[in-house]
């Protein structure tokens, strides 16, 4: 079986971004991929992350079209909040085995237009809910929302952020938990500012690491260089937070640090249908390790040609 997966944290995407953007994304990766023991009614409160900016780069891959569309629609719902109004927005993403999304995710945004200036606090909420439960959740909210005139089909539900507009902060905050029922502890952490605070704190702590990673990627040349820079940042993230991260568990893609250092000399990154994929194979003969071999990578390539001659490729940086 070829070893390949999407990269959860692709350091090549950050070449033109600033330190703050990298630190913020590393922090959200930390919460998103964190292994959590606390689960309340299928929700992992410790893994909720806060964001108040939308990603600058959206995927243009055909398989990611729905999520790119959803992100653009979310942006337009946020920025069409009328003057002096507040808006509660729900966007859902059920599990999708085809794209290796093993979990559901609910995105909830609380938006405010104050004198024409629009700000928002949004929360990514990982959940173990199956597709039926996610769609039922949407269908419960929809009749109470601004989009109450027609019921959404499944394909629409995943690209349609559903807004409900209010005209006072207290209306918004008291309605949010009633309109979007979640375990009390989840709403407590969100409305008390606890989630914001822990995300901000972590982003701040990660700033020097983001800086180091950016300067390393500036001189990176091969796929393996980028994976190494990413793995260093992920390891620092784990050291600082004490989180155990697993890309496989969250389905957000393989972590750089999950690719062993011996294997990193055999890493190529290639563009595939569902995004950037990591592929571990010999650049000379195309040999690919089995999962068993991957755990204990040989120092040189054991691939053989048709005459039985061993390739013997030794990665320079591996």
Query: Please, what is the minimum distance in Å from the beta carbon of residue 188 to Zn ion?
Result: 55
Q: Which of 282, 289, 297, 318 binds Zn ion (CB under 5 A)?
A: 282
| Cα distance between residue 181 and residue 45, in whole Å | 14
Least separation in angstroms between residue 266's CB and Zn ion is 9
Helices (H) and strands (E) in the chain, counts: 11, 8
Token representation of residue 124: 């990514």
How near is the Cβ of 64 to Zn ion at its closest, in Å?
Answer: 32
- Least Cα distance to 87 among 147, 29, 134 occurs for 147
Specify whether the CB–CB gap between 54 and 77 falls below 8 A.
no
Residue 236 vs 280, nearer CB to Zn ion? 280
What is the smallest separation between the CB atom of 286 and Zn ion, expressed in angstroms?
Answer: 7
Tell me how far apart the alpha carbons of residues 99 and 274 are, in angstroms, rounded to a whole number.
7
Q: Order across the sheet with 117-127: list the strands.
A: 49-51, 117-127, 104-114, 86-93, 162-166
Nearer to Zn ion, 14 or 287 (CB): 287
Which residue stretch of 32-40, 61-69, 106-114, 283-291 sits at the interface with Zn ion (rule: CB under 5 A)?
283-291
Q: Give the list of residues 6+ apart from residue 147 with CB closer than 8 angstroms, or none.
A: 160, 162, 163
Residue closer to Zn ion (CB basis): 72 or 285: 285
Nearer to Zn ion by Cβ, of 38 and 270: the residue is 270
Give the integer Cα–Cα distance in Å for 89 and 124: 12
Assess 301 for contact with Zn ion (CB under 5 A). yes
Q: Which tokens in the block code for residue 165?
A: 């507009």
CB of 293 to Zn ion, least distance (A): 13
When the beta carbons of 206 and 282 are compared against Zn ion, the nearer one is 282
State which of residues 66, 85, 240, 311 lies at the interface with Zn ion (CB under 5 A): 311
Q: Which residues of 138-153 are buried (b: 16+ CB within 10 A; e: fewer)?
A: beebbeebebeeeebe
Closest CA to 53 of 121, 107, 105: 121
Choosing from 9, 14, 129, 287, the residue that interacts with Zn ion (CB under 5 A) is: 287
> How many residues bind to Zn ion according to rule CB under 5 A?
8
Our CB check for Zn ion shows the closer of 209 and 301 to be 301
- Considering only the stretches 42-50, 102-110, 177-185, 274-282, report the one whose residues sit in contact with Zn ion under the rule CB under 5 A: 274-282
By beta-carbon proximity to Zn ion, the closer residue of 183 and 283 is 283
Whether residue 66 contacts residue 93, with contact meaning beta carbons closer than 8 Å, is answered with no
Q: Which stretch binds Zn ion (CB under 5 A): 77-85, 96-104, 245-253, 302-310?
A: 302-310
- What one-character-per-residue DSSP string does 170-198 give? HHHHHHHHHHS---HHHHHHHHTTHHHHH
Note the residue count of the chain.
318
Which residue of 15, 284, 310, 314 would you call a contact of Zn ion, by CB under 5 A? 284
The binder of Zn ion chosen from 58, 285, 294, 298 (CB under 5 A): 285
List phi, psi (to 5°) of 83. Answer: -55, 135
The verdict on 266 binding Zn ion (CB under 5 A) reads: no
Interface with Zn ion includes 303 (CB under 5 A)? yes
Beta bridge partners of 268: 279
> 35 or 284: whose CB is closer to Zn ion?
284
Which window, 61-69, 161-169, 186-194, 286-294, contacts Zn ion (CB under 5 A)? Answer: 286-294
Of 17-25, 231-239, 248-256, 301-309, which part binds Zn ion (CB under 5 A)?
Answer: 301-309
CA atoms of 270 and 259, how far apart (whole Å): 15
Residues that bind Zn ion (CB under 5 A): 282, 284-285, 287, 301, 303, 311, 313
């Amino acid at each position: 079986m070829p070893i390949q997966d999407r990269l959860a944290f692709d350091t090549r995407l950050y070449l033109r971004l600033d330190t703050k953007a990298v630190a913020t994304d590393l922090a959200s990766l930390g919460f998103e991929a964190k292994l959590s023991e606390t689960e309340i009614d299928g929700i992992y409160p410790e893994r909720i992350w806060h964001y108040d900016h939308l990603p600058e780069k959206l995927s243009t891959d055909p398989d990611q079209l729905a999520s790119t569309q959803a992100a653009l629609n979310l942006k337009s719902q946020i920025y069409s909040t009328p003057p002096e109004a507040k808006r509660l927005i729900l966007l859902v993403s059920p599990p999708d085995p085809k794209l290796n999304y093993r979990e559901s995710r609910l995105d909830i945004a609380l938006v405010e237009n104050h004198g024409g200036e629009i700000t928002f606090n949004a929360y990514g909420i990982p959940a173990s809910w199956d597709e039926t439960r996610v769609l039922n959740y949407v269908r419960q909210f929809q009749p109470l929302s601004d989009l109450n005139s027609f019921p959404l089909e499944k394909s629409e539900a995943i690209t349609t952020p559903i807004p409900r507009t209010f005209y006072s902060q207290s209306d918004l905050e008291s309605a949010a938990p009633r309109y979007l029922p979640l375990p009390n502890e989840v709403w407590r952490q969100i409305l008390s500012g606890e989630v914001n605070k822990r995300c901000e704190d972590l982003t701040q702590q990660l700033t020097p690491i983001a800086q180091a990673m950016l300067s390393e990627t500036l001189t990176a040349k091969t796929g393996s260089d980028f994976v190494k820079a990413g793995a260093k940042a992920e390891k620092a993230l784990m050291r600082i937070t004490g989180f155990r991260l697993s890309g496989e568990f969250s389905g957000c893609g393989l972590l750089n640090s999950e690719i062993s250092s011996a294997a990193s000399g055999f890493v190529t990154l290639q563009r595939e249908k569902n995004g950037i994929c990591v592929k571990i194979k010999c650049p000379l003969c195309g040999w690919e390790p089995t999962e068993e071999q991957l755990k204990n990578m040989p120092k040189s390539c054991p691939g053989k040609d048709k005459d039985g001659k061993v390739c013997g490729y030794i990665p320079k940086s591996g």
